[in-house]
Amino acid sequence: MNFQSDICIIGNGAIGKAAALGFAQTGASVTLISAQPAPDATTKSRFSKDASQQNSWDTRVYALNHLARALLNRLKVWDALDAPRIAPIEEMMVKSDDAKYPSKLSFDAYSARETALAWIVEDSNLTQALDAALNFAPNIQRVHATAQSTLADDAGITIQIGNGGQIRAALLVGADGAQSWVRSQAAIDLDYRPYGQHALVANFSTTLPHHGVAYQWFIAGQGIVALLPLPGNRVSLVWSAPDSLADQLASESATDLAARLNVLSEAILGELAALAPGPVKAIPLSMIRPHAITAPRTALVGDAAHVIHPLAGQGMNLGFGDVDALLRIVTGRHAHQDCGDARILSGYARERKEKILLAHLATDGLQRLFAADIEPLRIARNIGLNLVNRVPVIKRLLIGHALGNRI
């Protein structure tokens, strides 16, 4: 199996698939490599009319901002999503648990003159829409194989694959996640720091409507708890808990976890009940900061280029920002430049450097700030939240960040 294409993309997630679609729609030829076979057009949708399917909800969801939605619109994917399973976030409410110095920060779509701050989309809803688009997109060759090695030269890059074949391309895009093989092949060093936390995810029904509000609590000694709106009276939990507490919570059922959340949330959504009783999923959290996002004939996007703390829900949006920037810069190149020209890649690196750095500093700084269980620091941060809540200029900046204006 030997292929020649303008761009080769390695990765099977939403970021890699969006990049493949985007490049194909510009007229570039694309080879998309994945260790998993591509679903064909006859694959049954998870969102069939079968009642058991309709009543199940992914524990992995994304809060997609306006930039992500605009990109998916351009790719003609947004309208292919199952709309009844998408929930808009109309308001965000951040609270602390300090009884002596309570604090609150809130901002809403109305203040931003928007209909929503973001939209909660399930992983399977997004990936199935992308797969359907890929099945009918021109210029895309999907290859089920494992990449084994790469060799870049002045004219392009060669990717050897496990069946003895190879792909020759002008540009290799690594969209293969936090443990990126492409990044290691490019010999890009990184900074890595475990947070000593796990993200616990589960879904719950509520007896009171959420009205499109996303809630987040900073709880001393217990981490950060977020309840994100799902369609109807349902919410998705993301609890970034210290490892010791996460081990305890993960050993409990979702029903037991619901009882904890009923106390923690002070019944702000009424009584919570587990949608799917069973083990709670726990995902280890860490920061990964590569020293570069490009190498000769190679560009990184998504988690291959950065892994940040989920407390702001911006990881996937940052990845879509990478794709948006790479598409724009490659498409705007001069006629004499190919897709992997060093000047093109340096432009992409410059474009993303500040945004990625700001995302790392913001999420890492907030995690450190709220993980510290020191009373003077707790008082200062809670007073700070209240001050921010009263300063319109700062709130507008935060709203702009949530919308994706700065991603």
Helix axes 342-371, 315-331, angle to 10 degrees: 170
Residues 6+ apart with CB under 8 A from 267: 208
Domain ranges of the chain: 2-43+126-192+286-364
Buried b (16+ CB within 10 A) or exposed e, 203-226: bbbbeeebebbbbbbbbeebbbbb
Query: What token pair was written down for 79?
Result: 């309208």
Residues 6+ apart with CB under 8 A from 113: none
Low-confidence ranges of the chain (pLDDT < 70): 40-55, 97-102, 277-279, 372-407
Query: What token pair was written down for 356?
Result: 């990625």
Helix H or strand E segment including 353: helix 342-371
Q: Distance between CA atoms of 13 and 34, rounded to whole angstroms?
A: 9
Q: What is the pLDDT of residue 218?
A: 86
Q: What is the CATH number of domain 2-43+126-192+286-364?
A: 3.50.50.60
Partners of residue 199 on adjacent β-strands: 240, 283
Pair 172, 70: CB distance under 8 Å: no
Q: What is the pLDDT of residue 56?
A: 85
Choose among 39, 32, 14, 42: nearest CA to 141.
Answer: 32
Buried b (16+ CB within 10 A) or exposed e, 371-394: beeeeeebeebbeebeebbeeeee
Q: What is the pLDDT of residue 51?
A: 44
Compute the Cα dihedral for 387, 393, 395, 401 and give only its sign.
negative
Q: What is the pLDDT of residue 75?
A: 97
Q: What is the pLDDT of residue 407?
A: 41
Choose among 384, 380, 383, 378: nearest CA to 398.
Answer: 384
Residues 6+ apart with CB under 8 A from 393: none
